[in-house]
Structure 1
Amino acid sequence: MQMTFRWYGSNDDKIKLSEIRQIPGCKGIVGALFDIPVGEVWPKERIAALKMQVEDAGLKLEVIESVNIHDDIKIGLPSRDKYIENYIQTIRNLAEYGIKVICYNFMPIFDWVRTDLAYELPDGSTDLAFEHKKVEGDPSDIIKSVEDSSNGYVLPGWEPERLAQVKQLFKDYSGVDEEKLAANMEYFLQAIIPVCEQVGIKMAIHPDDPPRPLFGLPRLFKNREDMLRIVKMYDSPYNGFTFCTGSLGENPKNDVPALIREFGDKIPFVHARNIKFLTDGDFHESAHLSSEGSLDMYEIMKALHDVGFDGYMRPDHGRMIWGETGRPGYGLYDRALGITYLNGLWEALEKGSDKPNKPSAVHSSAQ
């Protein structure tokens, strides 16, 4: 298991690479080129510069999060082939600089959604929260609910310049139901996975967050049945999952350790975080420690150990603690504590039993 830390770059992240380097057991950065417009090819010189910056700090860059997918691909417009070709060229460019995993998602219009970016906990720290009733109306209502607590940041996909396009995007998606969205995703995977097999990059789709339809838009990665469908779209070691414990865990019906055991050979990348259920499916995020949330992080790490997980992991959304301010969910201190806790669990598991052989998949297309 290789522990990593998500970093938003020297222009947009208050956290320095030199500070990340001091986190015990953290060896790599999960990075991206955040200013490249969605659908355009990532230039080799920009990838090379990012890699050099990370390596000069004594860290590795082998995971990219994310190479976002143009809405024309998700909608299935004739222009999708142009954007898929651009995506393929980006895959080739990233492979040339040693990238092993690309995290992405296939969520229509918006990325992950929260309704409070500074939910106050009893100890005075703040974290992210989601309340269902706040997403039952117009999407713009969410902007109003988070703008006072965002420290000037916005949720991914909710940038002011992009919101001007949202009304048109809703019209464009009006004929896209779950079946159509799934067909468009399969078209995308059929085009890119053979290239990934050639160059050695694993695609790792992130779950829908939260794992339920929002604003009348379909969702494709919510549960076990969705995971089986995604595998069957193109059954290859290079068509895998970013296993986000918090996203999948937000649905109490999802048995997170069981999903890890079933799909272990399809998980090259893990987002490890905990959540705390409130009422009626509402939740807030929490410290990583099992007792602080509703997920058993020991059982989750044990499941990963049992399947012989040897991929990349990063601590996901952390609280804001000790007076830190910055990008909600992505402060330094609590994510560093998360790494220490997760590494402690892993060390105990490693020393407590012999490493088992990775089991064969039990979710083959023959099911």
Structure 2
Amino acid sequence: MNERLPDPRLAADDGGSEQPFIDHLIELRDRLLRMVVAIVIVFLGLFPFANTLYTWIAAPIRAQLPEGATMIATQVASPFLTPFKLALVVAVFIAMPYILYQLWAFIAPGLYRHEKRLAVPLLASSIVLFYLGMVFAYFVVFPLVFGFFTSVTPEGVQQMPDIAFYLEFILKLFFAFGIAFEIPIATILLVAAGITTPAALENKRPYVIVGVFIAGMLLTPPDVISQTLLAIPMWLLYELGILFSRFFQKDAGARAQSDDDSPGDDDPPTGSHRPKSPKPPAGPGAAEIAVGHEIDSSDINDPERFRPLTDDEMEAELDAIEAEDLHPHQSGARVDASGSSAMPTAATDTLLYQANQHRAEGNLNAARHLLYRVLEDGTADQRRVARNILSDLDS
């Protein structure tokens, strides 16, 4: 009974679909173990200084306490467990870059080169912004909040904060401000993914202002000071995200045309294949090559093959398309210049009209997809309009 079991990595070539998924789970388990080991190592280095860490983290409130007042421990194990918990949380914060690196190493092989170029700076900036949010909370928010609480203490009440409740309070604020400082990253990702546009984000500004104050009310203690100190930076960071997202939207077309559909140095692993969108053409003539038409270089350079439309001609063509889209019963199948029957005119004109709408909304990939269909099935006039729109997108 010494039969040797087959190597799981070799069994993946047998056509089974489970094996690659198991390999991914094994890799994920290994990387999670590395994260845990990193946290434990940092924690072991910090634990001897746990009491010193707590003294430093409690400095903002101790500076605001009345003379002679001290912090107290109302539970038997608090003097040990509270610094222990603080050392563990600080270990997680310090190990966060390594933790995020392990997550990045797990998903990076399945990304294309342009996605890696976008993800690396956003990942690094998200770490920096999270730390900046914590620094802002410690040096700006804590003194103001604790000073306000001390000033409104009723007469005859001795303020002696409990060390466990204080740690829970400041960790909530650290997390709230760290997440709030990620707003520019979230805004840039939404625009870069084509989910929204900077103009649409600007139109939602009034709702965002109300929303950040509601978020400040939910994430911070029930006082106006901390709520305002969180809401105003969130709003300003939202505006900063809109500003930087304009550059990402402007460069999205150039990145997509360079090498967005070619994998990076590490090809996507088995089981993580993703559909590739057709690569945008380099010029008007090359657009037909992208959809499968066989033409030679002499046809591309033929001046009779393609003549750019003027702005007035383009508007006239689009108006005609819109009119035919509204009255499809007046349009039927027509024959192009080559004499071959094409797709019904109304259907192709609808594609052109929708592609132009996508172009106006900034959704360039969807516009190109529809234009390629027109180049395949449209008439000569429709293909001429499609080539002009593609040329405008590529310019």
For the aligned pair, the TM-score class normalised by the smaller chain equals: under 0.3
Alignment TM-score, normalising by the size of structure 2: 0.19
Bigger proportion of residues as helix: 2
Alignment TM-score, normalising by the size of structure 1: 0.20
User: Larger Cα Rg: Structure 1 or Structure 2?
Assistant: 2
Query: Larger relative CO (CA 8 A, sep 6+): 1 or 2?
Result: 1
